[in-house]
Structure 1
């Protein structure tokens, strides 16, 4: 007689347990088998809490199904859900991610009193005059003179950076970090970038070339520019 296919597979790792849930079976079937396996693998009372990652494959959880999974795993003392991971995302989430990862190319001068704000990365072909301000949820690239205020990673992205052909800003801001004019050379600097140095716990200005080492993920910017 052929063995019944396992709907829930448990694998131990150095960091805890990983649960793989079959993506083709019904959710109720998976929940029942998961409940039985959690009880059978329950740690002893004197053992430390075990961290659990749940892998769903191409299954998307609807309604309160994620809560049902969490309740079953956390109900028996000794387990804690660290993450529930699916290869599937909702259409609206995909569109939001696309919008946030897009580069906005704008050709203009941001004058005193004006604020230019975008979602995603900003590529400004033009100057930011004193009293002008550019704001982005991602990185800011100014192909011109940056004299005003630039605020990158406004939603909290501390890995964002600010790049300018000529940098002499009134203020730089990255996420919740602020760096003011006295931090810069009085005559300004050419082809430099501003980014957060976590060790110094402040925004630093450095050569543009360091981005290839400190912000390797910026290669996606080059691909998007080349591919349109």
Structure 2
């Protein structure tokens, strides 16, 4: 019976994809990968830089093994590693992913000088007073007045949003964008309608009615709305 290859190389419009078997030993995998890449690189000597994506299936790779794979690929002419994907993650990585996708509910007032930070989405039932700060890796929803600083998507998520029952912040931040409160605001003109803030197509933070979120961020929640 003919032995199935441990390494399969497929060309795509974006470059090369390496499918690495997840049942053989790591040593066998590295040896066969080296041999096949050497053959392929000779055929691609006249080509410009080629992006390589590596798929390792249900195999867990340590940081040192990932670096070894990357170095092996980089040694071949014209090959550049785009990314390595695996179906496996550590317990710590799974816990971190879970935390980043959870909604943390907090019922309290954030006073001046206080900072509340969560890894995922934040649902705050209470006010953020001037001088107070709330920070979230995901979205921020405030059932109360936002009069301090709110920073959503602080790890780089530009799709994050900020919503509040009363939107009067001293500063809004989403990812690396920020927006200070407009000058000359008058308390008598404050709206009592819930509002939201998001990054628009021009990379600017925009404050709008809460209702626009269902159109701008249809994947914001798993719950389905009405017609």
TM-score w.r.t. the length of structure 2 is 0.88
- 1:104 alignment counterpart: 104
- 2:190 alignment counterpart: 188
Structure 1 25/184 Cα, relative in aligned 2: closer, same or farther at 3 Å? farther
Find out whether 1:28 has 2:30 as its counterpart. no
Is the contact between residue 168 and residue 184 of structure 1 (CA under 8 Å) also seen in structure 2? no
Find out whether 1:11 has 2:7 as its counterpart. no
Find out whether 1:210 has 2:212 as its counterpart. yes
What is the CA distance between 1:183 and its match in structure 2? 7.2
Aligned residues: 220
What is the CA distance between 1:66 and its match in structure 2? 1.2
Structure 1 196/205 Cα, relative in aligned 2: closer, same or farther at 3 Å? same
Distance in 1 (CA, whole Å) between partners of 2:184 and 2:160 is 19
TM-score w.r.t. the length of structure 1 is 0.88
Q: How does 1:37-48 map to 2 (within 5 A)?
A: 37-42=36-41, 43-48=43-48
- 2:66 alignment counterpart: 66
Runs of 4+ aligned structure 1 residues displaced above 4 Å come to: 183-186
SS at match of 1:217: coil
Distance in 2 (CA, whole Å) between partners of 1:219 and 1:184 is 35
RMSD: 2.0
Q: How does 1:80-119 map to 2 (within 5 A)?
A: 80-119=80-119
- 1:201 alignment counterpart: 203
SS at match of 1:205: strand
- 1:121 alignment counterpart: 121
What is the CA distance between 1:57 and its match in structure 2? 0.5
Distance in 1 (CA, whole Å) between partners of 2:136 and 2:88 is 28
Distance in 2 (CA, whole Å) between partners of 1:89 and 1:188 is 48
Distance in 1 (CA, whole Å) between partners of 2:13 and 2:135 is 42
Structure 1 98/183 Cα, relative in aligned 2: closer, same or farther at 3 Å? farther
What is the CA distance between 1:86 and its match in structure 2? 0.4
Deviations 1:13-38 (A, max 9, x none): 11111111111000111111111111
Structure 1 218/184 Cα, relative in aligned 2: closer, same or farther at 3 Å? farther
What is the CA distance between 1:112 and its match in structure 2? 3.1
Distance in 2 (CA, whole Å) between partners of 1:183 and 1:136 is 26
Structure 1: gaps of 5 or more residues: 224-228
- 1:226 alignment counterpart: none
